[in-house]
Amino acid sequence: MNSTDFDAVDIIRTKRDKGVLSAAQIDWTIDAYTRGTIADEQMAALNMAILLNGMNREEIFRWTAAMIASGERMDFSSLGKPTADKHSTGGVGDKITLPLAPLVAVFGVAVPQLSGRGLGHTGGTLDKLEAIPGWQASLSNSALMNQLRDVGAVICAAGAGLAPADKKLYALRDVTGTVEAIPLIASSIMSKKIAEGTDSLVLDVKVGSGAFMKDEAMARELAETMVALGKDAGVNTVALLTDMSTPLGLTAGNAIEVQESVDVLAGGGPEDVVELTVRLAEEMLTAAGVRDADPAAALRDGRAMDVWRRMISAQGGDPDAKLPVAKESETIYAPADGVLVELDALSVGVAAWRLGAGRARKEDAVQAGAGVVMHAKPGATVRAGEPLMTLLTDTPEKFDRAREALADAVVIAPEGSRPARRLIIDRIS
C-alpha cells in the first residue's frame, strides 16, 4: 500500500462526520503516521474526532491490530509453560506488580511483566524497582527469556520494538487533550499487551479520584473494550474494576513502596495490598489453567519471597541492600478527634509527585526516597495531634507545595462514622 491510496484529510472528515473507517483506511493511517507521512496536526485532528465520535468494535480491533503490526511480536511458546500478565491502568500507592509477579511464578506460570515509568501523580513500577541498588530495568529479549526459564518472573522495560506506533501516538495524545478517548486508551494498552505474546492477561482497571478514570461507567466501558480486544486476539482476558478513591497501602513513593511490597512478601503488609495481590494472582492462575493454587499461603510461607529475591538478583539488584531514605521529613497531624472517613488518592498522589517521587516530563529524574507515608486509612479512629502522614523528600523547599496538595485530602467525622470500602468493585469477563 503506498501513500497515494488514501488522503489524511478524507479520513479525518469521515470520522469528524461520525462515519466508520474501513480496515484499509485504518491500516494506512497507522502505517503512514508511524513513517511520518501523516503530519502531527492531522493525526491530532483525527484523535480529537475519535474522542468526540468514538469507534465501533471492528474499528477499535483493526486500529489495535495495525499498531501491533507496526513492530515486533514476542513468542513465549518455547518456554513450555503457561504465561500470564497483569496490567494496571495506574493509581496512587499501586505497588501490586512487585509482590504479584513472583507470587504467580511460584505456581509454574511464567510472568513477563513489561512495565513503565510514572508520569504525573501515578507511580511507575520501574521507578520503584530502580530504588533497589543495582537493579536494571532494561533486558535483551534473550535475557528476558532466560530469566523466565530460570526464575519464572521478570519485571522490566518494554523494548522499543513493541508497537512503536503507540509510543508516537501516546506522546501526541498527551499534548493534545485526547488521552481520555476510550478507543485510543484501549488500543494503546492492548496493542502492547497482545504484541507481548502472553497466553492470558488480567486487567486491573482503576476507578476513583486517584485513577485515570474517575467515573465508574467510563471505567467499565474501558474494561469491557479491552477484554473484547484481548479475546478477539486470542488472549484469555479478564478485568477487575478496583477502587482508587483512596491510595493502596500506606505508602506512595518509590523506595517506601518497595519496602511495603517486601513486607507483603514476608507475610505482612497492609490488608488492601494483600487482598488485591491475592485476588489478581488467583485470576492470573485461573486464566493460565492452574487449579487449586493457594497464593495467600505462598505469601505466608516464604515461597513468593524466594522468587522475589531471585528475580531482583537476576537483574543486578541486591535484595538485602538498604533502600534509599529521604534526607528530610515533615509530619502532618490530625486536626480533630473522630473517624477518618476520607483520604483522597489524587491529593496524596500529587503531594508525592511534588515531593520528588514523580515526574512532570518523561525525561525528569525522580527521588528514590521521596513520598508520603500514611499512618491511618479511612475507617481508623484518630485523635487530634496524632500523626496522619509523613512527607519525605531530599529537597525541603518542596514541602510547602506538597502540603498545599493535601489541604483538603482528609475528612474526619464524629465517632461512629465508619466508611465501607469495596476494593474490588466488579469482575468483567
Q: Strand, coil or helix: what is 118?
A: coil
Share of the chain above pLDDT 90, in %: 87
Computed over every residue of the chain, the mean pLDDT equals 94
- Do 294 and 339 reside in the same domain of the chain? no
Residue 11 has pLDDT above 70, yes or no: yes
Q: What is the pLDDT of residue 3?
A: 47
Contacts with 91 (C-beta within 8 Å, 6 or more apart), sequence order:
122, 206, 208, 210, 211, 244, 247, 248, 345, 349
* Residue positions annotated with a catalytic role: 87, 166, 173, 188, 192
Q: What is the pLDDT of residue 124?
A: 86
- Do 103 and 224 reside in the same domain of the chain? yes
Range 302-319 average pLDDT: 98
pLDDT digits 0-9 by tens, 408-422: 999 999 877 677 789
Q: How buried is 138 (Cβ within 10 angstroms: 0-12 exposed, 13-18 middle, 19+ buried)?
A: exposed
Residue 362 has pLDDT above 90, yes or no: no
Residue 1 has pLDDT above 50, yes or no: no
Range 392-408 average pLDDT: 97
Assigned domain for 225 exists: yes
pTM of the prediction? 0.93
Domain count, the chain: 2
- Do 211 and 248 reside in the same domain of the chain? yes
Assigned domain for 201 exists: yes
Band (pLDDT 50/70/90 cuts) for residue 359 is confident
Domain that holds residue 397: 328-413
Assigned domain for 204 exists: yes
Q: What is the CATH number of the domain that holds 109?
A: 3.40.1030.10
Q: Strand, coil or helix: what is 180?
A: coil
Q: What is the pLDDT of residue 78?
A: 94
Find the radius of gyration of the CA atoms of the chain.
22
Q: What is the pLDDT of residue 63?
A: 97
Q: What is the pLDDT of residue 175?
A: 82
**160, 80, 150, 152: which is closest to 113 by C-alpha?**
152
Q: What is the CATH number of the domain that holds 395?
A: 3.90.1170.30
Q: What is the pLDDT of residue 368?
A: 95
Beta carbons of 186 and 226 less than 8 angstroms apart: yes
> In angstroms, rounded to a whole number, what is the distance separating the alpha carbons of residues 126 and 118?
8
pLDDT digits 0-9 by tens, 166-185: 989 988 887 888 888 999 99
Report the 10 Å Cβ neighbour count for 168.
18
- Do 269 and 394 reside in the same domain of the chain? no
- Do 214 and 309 reside in the same domain of the chain? yes
pLDDT digits 0-9 by tens, 136-150: 999 999 999 999 999
Q: What is the pLDDT of residue 4?
A: 59
